[in-house]
Structure 1
Amino acid sequence: MSGLVKRSVTLAGHRTSIALEAEFWAALVACAEARGMALAALVAEIDAARTSEQGLASALRVFVLRNFSCR
């Protein structure tokens, strides 16, 4: 597993920085491409669906786990 990689995105008009492992970023990019959307749009969609108790990085990791199964 690699170290954390920080990326900045704009959510609801505000810039925020998110730190995830490179593998999670790669999986999110693959999901966004499969859906025909930009990575920022996918992150915004996940952000909008999460509960206030769940951190954004956690919500992104859970999204990846729910959308990728062992084959």
Structure 2
Amino acid sequence: MSAHLRKRSLILSGHDTSVALENEFWQVLEHCAAQKKQPLPALVASIDAARTPSQSLASALRVFALKSLQNQP
């Protein structure tokens, strides 16, 4: 794993999984979770449930973070 990635372990749909993202993406996701008044794992689970099977979870999280920044006023 690259030194600039931060790995987090989560339980999604009853299964352990880990995701490695750049710290900046984790910060955006944490902010989004706080805005929605939900824990980060709940936000990640909702993003996981909405992604297409061909998209990796890391990719889905990055795209979600990017779109959330693009939608800010």
With the length of structure 2 as denominator, give the TM-score of the two structures. Answer: 0.91
Structure 1, unmatched stretches of 5+, are none
Show CA shifts across 1:12-69 (max 9, x none).
Answer: 0001010000000000000000000000000000000000000000000000011102
Output the CA distance in 1 between the equivalents of 2:4 and 2:11: 23
Aligned-residue Cα RMSD (Å) equals 1.5
- Where in structure 2 are the equivalents of 1:1-71 lying within 5 Å? 3-69=4-70
TM-score with structure 1 setting the length: 0.94
Identity across matched positions, percent? 56
Structure 2 unaligned segments of length 5 or more: list them. none
Number of paired residues?
A: 70
